Amino acid sequence: MSPVGSTARARVAILPADVADRIAAGEVVERPASVVKELVENALDAGAMAIDVEIRDGGRALIRVSDDGLGMPEEDARLAIARHATSKIRDAEDLVGVGSFGFRGEALPAIGSVSHLRIETATEDGAGVAVAVSGGTLVGVTPIARRRGTTVSVEALFYNTPARQKFLRGARSEWRAIVELMGTLALVRRDVRFRLVHDGKEQWQLPAAASLRARLGPLWGGEVAERLVAVDDVQGVIHVAGLIERPTDVGSTSRQVLVLVNGRAVRDVGIVRAAEAAYKSTIPAGTRPSLVLEVTLPGREVDVNVHPAKAEVRFVDRWTVERAVERAVRRALGTEEAIASVGAMPRPEMPQALFGTPLPVEVLRQAVPSAPAPLFEPEASSPDAAEDGGRPPAPTAAPAADPDLIVPPLIQVHRTYIAFERGDALVLIDQHSAHERVLYERFMGALERGDAPAQRLLFPLTLHLSPAEAEAFEGHRALFAGLGFDAEAFGGNSVLVHAVPNPHPRFDAERCLRETLAALTGDRLPSTIARHERLAATVACKAAVKAGDLLAPEEMRALFLALARTTLPAHDVHGRATILQLTWDELDRRFGRT
């Protein structure tokens, strides 16, 4: 026969059955974890409510999966080891929106072609049967007595394909892959009891769980699971649910990500990216949160038949799905659960507002007003309000409150925190971080609308900059103007400033500009952040009231109300918490009362 690549013409031939089976095995069976996946998914599709998985030597010596599913009569058991035999589809139409885990009809024969395979099965009313296959050859079919369900044993995986066996990793590595897979399947089907045994030792047994959080606890750790924030949002026909990490906890533990689409675990970079986009301006750039997200939509809107292992999907309208995911995560980050707390907070049955009494959730999710007033409303606001060179008069009254929002009595602690009592906790607001969040959202709105309020200075400011600072100013000049800075080059590296924003009476325009330019020059924020977001975040940080600034009662009230109107009040633009809840139980514990 001519070698591959020669100019001689090669004849076309049908592959022998055993060769075709081994090629199919290469698609289905990559490693022991692949076998476990196929067998457990078959058990789930058979209606199993209890599944035991026994592993020996990382799956290289033995894989045994037992279930209490429907079982098979002898005729079906014989057909199950034949190629292209399946109970899950009947025609091509069934491939659209398929609801089962698998449907290839090649898993069992592919596994049997590279191992010693034994299937023991029985139905509720029928006698049991055992089917044995070795290296793709049927060894025997014998009657047995057993309860309803199926047990599939796979021994000596890849015993007849030394080249494949050589590429298996060590027993420990293969075992870790199986544990990770089983954890994923246990999260997918929380209504099923799972038991996992390795080398005769039980690793874990997970009873059926009532919720994702309850199932996640034994797998990720109970403390980690309790800190996660619930996601539950519907947009059109798309339902997004799950658990996500608080911004203040991101980076504190190893990252875990799981995405489920219509009850199937998949790899989808777009969905993960959309979820991470919702964290924008709440965590430092480069850090990535842990999350478990379940996306449910009509079967006709998603194609699961695009990957041999069904690990990827294709959406009819991907943009809509990703926007729904981003919106759902963003909304969850604005709920009470997202607030950092010391001590276990009572978990609300449904999302609540972060401030005041429980309200309709939309009340505090309103957009930034189209013409936002400064945080501390000055007595007058006109182009001539800053006759003294840039400082408006002290406030005389707080802005009007939301009619539905109750402002509790507020006190300032250590000239840094605003404290108040709410429900089961003492709440502390970091005045700088909170004001930073308020200004960031206000500045972002101004940049998008192009209507930033500004005040003319009676005497323009002249700033003498370093070459690097002058270059940074020139590169962001249009964005500075969008924030309310009216400035122009004034020879050399000097800049003449005619108007500035008016975020609060203590605002020092010259200091803010200098510190902002220094931060931009120092490149402290990664270049992956959009330039307008980076500038808005930096100016918000430099313009916000500082720790140590004494706030009058009306100023604290104004800050409270302004923070309540933001979309993500619990986090500043650097990923730090703006709000901390200290539970009364925790206080009692520290004082020895409990």
Choose which CATH entry (3.30.1460.30, 3.90.550.10, 3.30.565.10, 3.40.228.10) describes domain 17-206. 3.30.565.10
Kindly report, residue by residue over 387-399, the tens digit of the pLDDT. 333 333 333 333 4
Helices and strands: H and E segment counts in the chain: 17, 23
Q: Is 458 helix (H, G, I), strand (E, B) or coil?
A: strand
pLDDT at 225: 92
Residue 520: phi and psi, rounded to 5, are: -65, -35
486-489 sheet: strands from edge to edge: 455-464, 494-500, 486-489
CA distance 508 to 452: 17
The count of C-alpha atoms lying within 13 angstroms of the C-alpha of 405, restricted to the half-sphere facing its C-beta, is 22
Q: Is 511 helix (H, G, I), strand (E, B) or coil?
A: helix
β partners of residue 120: 130, 151
pLDDT at 304: 78
pLDDT at 397: 36
Please give the CATH topology (third level) of the domain spanning 212-338.
Answer: Ribosomal Protein S5; domain 2 (3.30.230)
pLDDT at 368: 33
Choose which CATH entry (3.90.950.20, 2.60.290.11, 3.90.226.10, 3.30.1370.100) describes domain 400-583. 3.30.1370.100
Domains 17-206 and 212-338 share a fold: no
The neighbour count for residue 577, using CB atoms within 10 Å, is 23
Domains of the chain: which residue ranges? 17-206, 212-338, 400-583
pTM of the entire structure? 0.76
Name 332's Cβ contacts closer than 8 Å, sequence gap at least 6: 229, 230, 231, 232, 233, 244, 338, 351
pLDDT at 383: 38
Question: Which residue stretches of the chain have pLDDT < 50?
Answer: 1-2, 4-5, 26, 89-90, 92, 95, 98, 103-105, 349-354, 357-401
DSSP letter (8 states) at residue 210:
S
Name 435's Cβ contacts closer than 8 Å, sequence gap at least 6: 375, 504, 544, 545, 559, 562
